[in-house]
Amino acid sequence: MTTPAKLRSIYRSFLRELPSRPLSPTSRTPLQTRIRETIASDASTPIEHADQFLQYVKAQRMYATLLERYNPGMNMDEEERVRLTARRVGMDLPKEFSYAGSGEGDGNNGNQK
């Protein structure tokens, strides 16, 4: 593959790895602009170096995907994680008792005289 075609392929691969943006010619992120400038300059970056960095970016994306897949509770709060763990083993957590509807808060503590 010739050098310009290889560089174009690497640049497109970088764009595929970055999060998608709305289609607009002015919607390039600073990172996209920097990658384009670096690849467009002829002598600044060897193709092997750019390809190695592309492999690193792909590996980081795959790592994040696998982390989300195999650790689904890492973004949950503690209460939700405990509830889902109980459901996983076939149990439901008991409903929490609230004093609001029981009449306990009126001061006579259930004792009538």
pLDDT tens, residue by residue, 45-87: 678 888 888 899 899 989 989 998 888 777 888 888 888 888 8
pTM assigned to the model? 0.55
Q: What is the mean pLDDT of residues 1-25?
A: 76
The pLDDT of residue 113 is: 45
Which sequence spans correspond to the domains of the chain? 3-19+27-88
Query: Are the beta carbons of 38 and 46 closer than 8 angstroms?
Result: no
Whole-number Cα distances in Å, 50 to 7, 16, 24, 26:
9, 15, 26, 25
* CA–CA dist 64, 87 (Å, integer): 26
